[in-house]
Amino acid sequence: MIPAAFDYHSPQSLDEALSLLKQHGGDAKILAGGQSLIPAMRFRLAVPAILIDINRLDDLRYVEERGDHLAIGAMTREHSLEDSSAVRSSYALLYDTAVVVADPLVRNQATVGGNIAHADPANDHPATMLAYGATVVAKGPNGERTIGIDDFFTGLFENAMTDDEILTEIRIPKPAAHTGGAYTKLERKVGDYAISAAAVQLRLDGDTVAAARIGLTNVSPVPMRAKAAEAELVGKSISDAVIEAAGKAAAAECDPSPDLRGGVDYKRDVTRVMVKRSIQKAVARAKGGK
C-alpha cells in the first residue's frame, strides 16, 4: 500500500504555509501528524496533489495556561497532553481523553489540532472540546479569527474553516471551582475508535448541577453535544435517577450507525452507560475526588 505521488512543501513559518495554501487552493492538503491522512493516502482514499507539511511550525507546539484558558498549539503532539502538568492537575477530562487516543506510538506523532480539524466523529477530541466549550483559533490570509466549538463541526469530515485557513490553537476555558469532568470510552480493543464514548464537564453548586456540557464520540454523523442529556442535569440535585435520566436522554438523541462495532440499539444503550459513568466520575471529581 503506497501513496500516489504528490508535490511536497515544508514551510518554515505559518505565513509561508498560509501563502502556499492560498496559492494551491483545493489541490493542497495540510499534513499535520499524518496518522489519519497517511493511511488514507496509502489506500489511495486520499490522493492530494500537493501536501503542505506544517510539522516544522514549532511555534504551534505548546500547552500552557494563559489567563482564563488553557491554550494548546495546534501542532502539539498528543503525548504532550499526557506529559503536561497543567493538564494533569486541572483538566481531568482532557487527560482522560489524551490517554485513550489511538496508541502510544501514534500519540507521539498525531497532533491535537489534526484530531479536531479532521472533524471525524470517531475521533476523541471533538466530544471533549464540545464538553469543554472550547474555542478554535484559525488563521487565514485575512488574519486570525476564533470559532466557538459549537459552530466548528459542520459535517462529516467538514469544519467551519475556509480552504485557506489553518487551525492554530485550541482554547479550553479554565475550570471554575467545583467543576469536574471525565471521558469514558468503550472500545473493541485498546487503541481502537470508540464504540461510544462520553465527555462530560459539569459544575456543582452543593449537590445541584449548576452547569453541564456533554459531548459524544462516534454515535452521530457529526461530532455532537448531548443537549437533552445536559438539560436533564442542569438545575437538578444529583442523584442516581437524574444520572439515569441524562443517560437515557443521550441514548435517545444520539444517532449512531450500525457497523462492526454494534447495532443501533447497542450503541444507544452503551451511550447511556458511558454518559452515566462519565457523569458519576465528573461529579466525584467536582466534589474534590480524583
Binding site for other proteins (CB under 8 A): 1-8, 10, 31, 34-35, 38-39, 41-44, 51, 53, 55, 79, 102-106, 108-109, 186, 188-192, 195, 260-263, 266, 269-270, 273, 276-277
The least distance separating other proteins from the CB of residue 61, rounded to whole angstroms, comes to 13
The least distance separating other proteins from the CB of residue 11, rounded to whole angstroms, comes to 13
The least distance separating other proteins from the CB of residue 104, rounded to whole angstroms, comes to 5
The least distance separating other proteins from the CB of residue 275, rounded to whole angstroms, comes to 11
Query: 3-state SS of the chain?
Result: CCCCCCEEECCCCHHHHHHHHHHHHHHEEEECCCCCHHHHHHCCCCCCCEEEECCCCHHHCCEEEECCEEEEECCCEHHHHHHCHHHHHHCHHHHHHHCCCCCHHHHCCCEHHHHHHCCCCCCCHHHHHHHHCCEEEEEECCEEEEEEHHHHEEECCEECCCCCCEEEEEEEECCCCCEEEEEEEEECCCCCCEEEEEEEEEEEECCEEEEEEEEEECCCCCCEECHHHHHHHCCCECCHHHHHHHHHHHHHHCCCCCECCECHHHHHHHHHHHHHHHHHHHHHHHCCCC
The single residue listed with the C-alpha cell 466520575 is 281
* Closer CB to other proteins, 177 or 260, in the complex: 260
The least distance separating other proteins from the CB of residue 243, rounded to whole angstroms, comes to 11
The least distance separating other proteins from the CB of residue 190, rounded to whole angstroms, comes to 4
The least distance separating other proteins from the CB of residue 47, rounded to whole angstroms, comes to 10
* Closer CB to other proteins, 31 or 216, in the complex: 31
The least distance separating other proteins from the CB of residue 23, rounded to whole angstroms, comes to 15
Judge contact between 63 and 86, C-beta under 8 A: yes
* Closer CB to other proteins, 136 or 270, in the complex: 270
Helices 240-253 and 264-286, packing angle to 10 deg = 140
φ, ψ (nearest 5 deg) of residue 189: -155, 165
Judge contact between 166 and 18, C-beta under 8 A: yes
Rounded to whole angstroms, the Cα distance separating 84 from 63 reads: 7
φ, ψ (nearest 5 deg) of residue 8: -125, 130
* Closer CB to other proteins, 7 or 64, in the complex: 7
